[in-house]
A = this chain, B = another copy of it.
Amino acid sequence: MPDAITVSGVRRAFDDGTVALDGTTLSVERGSVAVLVGPSGCGKTTLLRILAGLDAPDAGTASVAPVAGEGAARVSIAFQEPRLLPWRSALRNVALPLELARAAKADRDDRARAMLSLVGLGGAERKLPGQLSGGMRMRVAIARALVTRPQVLLLDEPFGALDEITRHQLDDLVLRLRAELGMTVVLVTHAITEAAYMGDRVFVMAPSPGRVVRAFEPGFGMRDAALRASPRFAAVVADLMQSLAGAMLAVPAGGVRA
């Protein structure tokens, strides 16, 4: 499979001198799930923003290979915060991307409703964001990212505010849609078990400046509940945990400050 995403030698330094990324290199095969893990503040969000075209590298290149299909549906991102329009109901927030792409009203409502019930919010279509719990708001944002059936999906810690069971369901939902649509997924997460479960490839990042210190392939084919209980899985989790601990202690590679 060709690479859908290639990042090579990316550097991003902010005005105040913080070097969020330096020499970051990675690639993601089309149709695969890449997971980014790393300590808080190591540049994961910055990298995702660069991939989404919201920020530009100061050096190096980052590219998302063009794919067929309607432009608007190409790349979808769920931010670390829900970013909902406060005056729109859950349903109309989810329908927003379809509305902006000028889908027919009936069609977009149906698709939004279906997606809302897939994330477990079947009864909450008409609630306003201010009437939803934190986890429900995040799920609305995830539904909004998925409703366009994108070809590249960027998820920034979307499940952090969810209980483990809902989270497992959403993990499986993403994997299913990946299989259905041949979607390429980049997932930022803090849950090591989630990283191990979801990742075709896991990139461990270290801070100051942010960079990839390890690329790792768990190599699980089918994922299901049984996998989570298996010793193989436990071993991968332990290994990843080790890497992460190592990354936090990593000597800053030319970073300006801790």
Contacts and interface: CB of A to CB of B under 8 A. Distances in A.
Given A38-B163, A165-B245, 18 more contacts: A18-B127, A39-B166, A40-B120, A40-B135, A40-B136, A40-B162, A40-B166, A45-B133, A80-B134, A81-B134, A122-B258, A160-B160, A160-B190, A161-B190, A163-B190, A163-B248, A164-B191, A166-B248
Nearest to A238: B229
Interface in A144-183: 156-157, 160-167
Interface string A13-27: 010101000000000
Interface of A: 14, 16, 18, 37-41, 44-45, 80-81, 120, 122-123, 127, 131-136, 139, 156-157, 160-167, 190-192, 241, 244-245, 248, 257-258
A18 B127 CA distance: 10
Contacts of A160: 160-161, 190
Contact of A163 (B120, B127, B164, B244): B244
Contact of A41 (B39, B133, B156, B244): B133
Q: Among A123, A163, A165, A167, which residue has the most Cβ atoms of chain B within 10 A? A: A163
Q: How many copies does the complex hold?
A: 2
A161 B165 contact: no
Contacts of A39: 163, 165-166
User: Which are the 7 A-B pairs with shortest beta-carbon distances?
Assistant: A40-B135, A160-B160, A80-B134, A41-B133, A123-B258, A163-B190, A39-B163
Contacts of A139: 40
Contacts of A248: 163, 165-166
B161 A134 contact: no
Contacts of A16: 127, 131
Given A123-B257, A134-B80, A167-B190, A40 B244 contact: no
Contact of A134 (B38, B136, B157, B258): B157
A164 B192 contact: yes
26 contacts: A14-B131, A16-B127, A18-B127, A18-B131, A37-B163, A38-B163, A40-B120, A40-B134, A40-B135, A40-B139, A40-B161, A41-B136, A44-B133, A80-B161, A81-B134, A122-B258, A123-B257, A123-B258, A134-B157, A160-B161, A160-B190, A161-B190, A162-B190, A163-B244, A165-B244, A166-B248
